[in-house]
A and B are shown apart, each in its own frame.
Chain A
Amino acid sequence: MSELNIAMVEKYRNSFLHEVEANVEEGDWVKMCMQCGVCSGSCPLGSHWEHSPQKLFMMIRAGKREEVLSSDSMWMCTSCYNCVVRCPREVPITHIMHGLASYAKRLGLVPKGQQTAKFAQHFWDNLVKKGRVNELKLGLNLYFMNGFAEGVKTSLKMKDIGLGMLKTKRMSPMEIFGGHKVKDLDGFQAMVKKAQEIETARIEKNMNA
């Protein structure tokens, strides 16, 4: 268990809801859920989740901290925004899902080997490096995420699509050498760093308050 996690458990002993409200993006909205279940019914992947959004919200209110933060449900969200569009209470459910995922990651509670979490890390690292997503590298990263043998297998399976993309100039092989980037890369990276600092400071403040 991470130090931060232990501290947070200590801090919000009585109310996980308050912890979520203070530390999770849009967590303030969790209390506004009226348990109608429209989100769960609207989620195209709903049947694959262990906990539907409705249940996650109820678990937050019921103080089931471990279960919520170590759940892989919020990692399964594909950001289709169906739930947000349909929620009669206009709760930003998608944002909360990502907020919960991000908070769980910060606390070190992500289930081991969670595939979306892994890919999300690759995506983030890829993006922050140049300020642009390097699709060639991201694709290769994804294929080889779970080992060399699987990577080769997936690459062969996808080779026709890859060649097609090369032919139509949708993907450049030159990307493998560095790749394109934003105009002011230093500025971009400073901005991301500052944002991370602010967020960490906020959460640390919550922890120590």
Chain B
Amino acid sequence: MADEKKVGAYICSGCGIGDRLNMKQLEMTATRDGKAKVCKTHDFLCSKAGVQMIQDDIDNDGVNQLAIAACSRRAKVEAFNFSDVSQTRINLREGVIWARPEGDEHTETTQEMADDYVRMGCHEVKAMTVPTGSDEQPLVKSVLVVGGGITGLTAAVESFKTGYSVTLVEKSGALGGMAGDLYKRVPTRAPYAEPEETGVAELIEAVNAADGISVHLNTTVTKTAGAPGRFEIDLSTESGSTETTTVGAIVQASGMKAYDANQLPEFAYGKNADVVTNVELEALAKAANGGSMKRPSDGKEIKSVTFIQCAGQRSEKEGHLSYCSGFCCNTSIKQAMYFKESNPNADTTILFTDLRTPGAGGEDFYRSGQKKGILFSKGEVSEVVPSAEGLEVKFNDLILGEETSMQADLVVLATGQVPNSGPDPYAAVPTKEEKEAAEASNTVEISVESILNLDYRQGTDLPHLSNGFTDSHFICFPYETRRTGIYSAGPVRRPMDTLQAQDDAMGAALKAIQSAENAGQGRAAHPRSGDLSYPLFRKEGCTQCKRCTVECPFGAINEDERGFPQFNESRCRRCGTCMGACPVRVISFDNYSVDTVGNQIKNVDIPDEFDEKPRILVLACENDAYPALDMGAKNGYHYSQWARVIPVRCLGSVNTVWLTDALSEGYDGVVLMGCQKGDDYQCHFVKGSEMATMRMSKIADTLQQLNLEEERVSTYEVAITDIQRAPQLINDMADTIEKIGMSPFKF
């Protein structure tokens, strides 16, 4: 009995649905057109009794495909949670009665909308099967941490504390990294007045004491194969020996490189030994160990020091960093305190253009520096030149508006952080001309070493977001990278100080553990967390075109030697971009496929041309656009009665066959709504909406073949906050259709 598909349609008349719609007719539509074997109405479907009614039918009547016509799929998720059955939600509340105004003149078209949605839902669920979850990988309770700096050490200790075993890989011969070379660090606790110990030594001790953390020094990762839950890692030592280990997930804490200050000749760096970077000053301070610091050039005691903020940063000049590294203001205050510690009368001046002291205690620390007599001057430094007494710093005083200068024994450049990331898989390939130009100008190509050596179809390392940082969309998905199960933490992700790096490490460790646990249960990671479906692939139909392997935003799909895709289920985020890409439609999910959406498109009633009732297909991303429409309707922003909205996992999953089908069946217009793409993308699947837009740019040909106007298809970027704009976009399409006329394809 379980194998036989039996559709049950359950229609709720609560929340005003019963008042606005003809329930008898909806029932008839469900049974006659929707072929539902069971159809029941309830005036409070999400109540205990309503849910029990459905559960009883599942248990006793063999209903295994549910079409629940009530509120939006975003509401009452806990109530309508049935296991081992396929299920779809028909949105009569937000999608019909709230989306349309009340009044007799609207009754007919509102009812038509509801009838269509009921029909669509019943046919959608018929094309579904119950996903069972991928069993490709077991639960592997171990994490690989790449990098033994303060971030890596923290990630290792935190992972270990949760009961996971850790493999900690460090390229150099010692743990500690750059934070280990600091004399002291910016305070992390109240009263935020004095520099404090870095705590790196204690971390190293904790790592060495933990029997579940195996430390590999002088070691690099030479190969990373597999997927979350079954990563196979080759660890190679300097001497050449290689061992392989299996881990569940990976934290990449490869840290930062110091900015190369040789690009700052105007500040006399490299020309004068008394100009040092903030990294080099730590070595001086460590050597002095609380005593007075000596000038590198002649060993004289340093009595006056000038810090130049934003050295080679926040500047569009060639060789400079365009971004703010975020740690340097606090660091300069801290380093000025080093001088005040041994000699309270030392002249310490910080020349800044914009002083920023992030963190809970930043402002207190700044104040503490002022109280100690550190002088802060708003000025833009133009040049550092040698003088009789040492160095002359020439600057433009931005408050007094004049060119001036000051004398100093030592100048410290507050230089920034450069991420230590591997090569970007999506870096633009240089054109032939560019290559030739580079060769002609004799520039030495600096090859970036891979850190993870991923055995993936798409590149060896984590993709970059901007400036080489391996970040993701930092508001929506702060810890995500674009390779499932691999989390970056610390300054490789974005510029940060040690405290932020430690927080970041904890977050990344927890995400890594979550990812390993999800993989073990065959569930998706963020953002379709817990989804058990995964891409299924009909090999017989595949033409080895490789579009899916190229377009997957997460590099989840490898290729076998014959060019067939090899899906790595736990690397997959279930966006369906591969399904949208596939020209022969051999990729599908158990509960989301070309057919589930295709069936919905086909089961909209298309009135003939003379009825003057156009039909607009709206494919809305379920992450932002669909909620925006829901919330818009809730707030009284109505949209056209001709619209039929179908949620999609991501605009990237939209297969062009849906559009051609819709247009050739007589739809008058198609509106696609996805998330923002580009550098500031908000697409939950990074590249999905970009891919979709690219595909849609080519739909013009199809429209021409069908002899249809280009305006009939439009693609928009919609944010979740666009609750007024999203309905308006649908109305705009309705206006367009009124202008250009109905589609001639109505039969």
A interface residues (Cβ-Cβ under 8 A, vs B): 17, 31-32, 34-35, 54-55, 58-59, 61-62, 89
A62 touches B378 (CB 8 A): no
B373 touches A62 (CB 8 A): no
B370 touches A31 (CB 8 A): yes
Q: Which of B39-47, B397-405, B479-487, B499-507 contacts A (4 or more CB under 8 A)?
A: B397-405
B interface residues (Cβ-Cβ under 8 A, vs A): 355, 366-367, 370-371, 373, 375-378, 397, 399-400, 404
Which among B371, B373, B397 is the interface contact of A58 at CB below 8 angstroms?
B397
A34 touches B400 (CB 8 A): no
Residues of chain B with a CB closer than 8 A to A35's CB: 376, 378, 399
B377 touches A34 (CB 8 A): no
Q: Which 5 A-B pairs have the closest CB atoms?
A: A58-B399, A32-B370, A35-B378, A31-B370, A58-B400
A55-B398 Cα distance, complex, nearest whole Å: 10
B367 touches A58 (CB 8 A): no
A59 touches B370 (CB 8 A): no
Residues of chain A with a CB closer than 8 A to B373's CB: 31
Residues of chain A with a CB closer than 8 A to B370's CB: 31-32, 34
A54-B375 Cα distance, complex, nearest whole Å: 15
Q: How far is the CB of B428 from chain A (nearest CB, A)?
A: 42
A55 touches B400 (CB 8 A): yes
Q: How far is the CB of A120 from chain B (nearest CB, A)?
A: 28
A54 touches B366 (CB 8 A): no
Which among B355, B371, B377, B378 is the interface contact of A32 at CB below 8 angstroms?
B371
B376 touches A62 (CB 8 A): no
A62-B404 Cα distance, complex, nearest whole Å: 10
Q: List 29 A-B contacts (CB under 8 A).
A: A17-B375, A31-B370, A31-B371, A31-B373, A31-B375, A32-B370, A32-B371, A34-B355, A34-B366, A34-B370, A34-B376, A35-B376, A35-B378, A35-B399, A54-B399, A55-B399, A55-B400, A58-B377, A58-B378, A58-B397, A58-B399, A58-B400, A59-B400, A61-B375, A61-B377, A62-B377, A62-B397, A62-B404, A89-B367
Known: A31-B373, A31-B375, A35-B376. A62 touches B400 (CB 8 A): yes
Q: How far is the CB of A26 from chain B (nearest CB, A)?
A: 15
Q: How far is the CB of A191 from chain B (nearest CB, A)?
A: 33
Nearest residue, chain A, Cβ from B357? A34
Residues of chain B with a CB closer than 8 A to A89's CB: 367
| Residue from A17, A61, A62 with most neighbouring chain B CB atoms (10 Å) | A62
Residues of chain B with a CB closer than 8 A to A34's CB: 355, 366, 370, 376
Residues of chain A with a CB closer than 8 A to B378's CB: 35, 58
A54-B397 Cα distance, complex, nearest whole Å: 13
Residues of chain B with a CB closer than 8 A to A59's CB: 400
Residues of chain A with a CB closer than 8 A to B371's CB: 31-32
Nearest residue, chain A, Cβ from B375? A61
Q: How far is the CB of A124 from chain B (nearest CB, A)?
A: 33
Q: How far is the CB of B599 from chain A (nearest CB, A)?
A: 62
A59-B371 Cα distance, complex, nearest whole Å: 18
Residues of chain B with a CB closer than 8 A to A61's CB: 375, 377
| Residue from A32, A58, A89 with most neighbouring chain B CB atoms (10 Å) | A58
A34-B355 Cα distance, complex, nearest whole Å: 9
Residues of chain A with a CB closer than 8 A to B400's CB: 55, 58-59, 62
Residues of chain B with a CB closer than 8 A to A58's CB: 377-378, 397, 399-400
A58-B657 Cα distance, complex, nearest whole Å: 69
**Interface contacts beyond A55-B399, A61-B375: sample of 7 additional A-B pairs, CB < 8 Å, sorted by A:** A31-B371, A32-B367, A32-B370, A34-B376, A35-B378, A54-B399, A62-B400
Nearest residue, chain B, Cβ from A37? B399
A34-B400 Cα distance, complex, nearest whole Å: 14
Residues of chain A with a CB closer than 8 A to B399's CB: 35, 54-55, 58
A54-B398 Cα distance, complex, nearest whole Å: 12
A58-B377 Cα distance, complex, nearest whole Å: 8
Nearest residue, chain B, Cβ from A30? B370
Residues of chain B with a CB closer than 8 A to A17's CB: 375
A55-B400 Cα distance, complex, nearest whole Å: 6
Residues of chain B with a CB closer than 8 A to A54's CB: 399
Q: How far is the CB of B403 from chain A (nearest CB, A)?
A: 12
Residues of chain B with a CB closer than 8 A to A31's CB: 370-371, 373, 375
Q: How far is the CB of A184 from chain B (nearest CB, A)?
A: 42
A89-B371 Cα distance, complex, nearest whole Å: 12
A25-B144 Cα distance, complex, nearest whole Å: 61
Nearest residue, chain B, Cβ from A15? B347
Residues of chain A with a CB closer than 8 A to B355's CB: 34
Residues of chain A with a CB closer than 8 A to B375's CB: 17, 31, 61
A31-B375 Cα distance, complex, nearest whole Å: 7
A42-B291 Cα distance, complex, nearest whole Å: 45
Nearest residue, chain B, Cβ from A52? B399
Residues of chain B with a CB closer than 8 A to A55's CB: 399-400
A54-B400 Cα distance, complex, nearest whole Å: 9
Residues of chain A with a CB closer than 8 A to B376's CB: 34-35
